[in-house]
């Protein structure tokens, strides 16, 4: 979702980098943008989480 919102730099534990990189490699920028847009349109945190889960599917 953050990538879809234009975030180009993420801070995380070094051990998380391979998994995050692998997951990002599986997604297109269009998918990331769609998830970001869904998050922006969400009315509350529950809907935002649902958008994040849907993006992972």
Q: What's residue 25's pLDDT?
A: 93
Q: What is the pLDDT of residue 52?
A: 79
Q: Is the pTM of this model over 0.85?
A: no
Cα–Cα distance, 47 to 6 (Å, whole number): 20
Q: Which residues contact 41 (CB under 8 A, 6 or more apart)?
A: none
Give the whole-angstrom CA distance, residue 2 versus residue 23.
Answer: 13
Residue 53 confidence (pLDDT): 82
pLDDT category at 54 given cuts 50, 70, 90 is: confident
pLDDT in tens, 2-50: 888 899 998 999 999 999 999 999 999 998 898 889 889 999 999 988 8
């Amino acid at each position: 979702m953050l990538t879809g919102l234009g975030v180009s730099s993420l801070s995380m534990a070094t051990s998380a980098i391979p998994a995050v990189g692998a997951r990002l490699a599986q997604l297109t920028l269009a998918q990331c943008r769609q998830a970001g847009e869904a998050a922006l349109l969400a009315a509350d945190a529950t809907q935002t989480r649902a958008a994040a889960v849907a993006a992972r599917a």
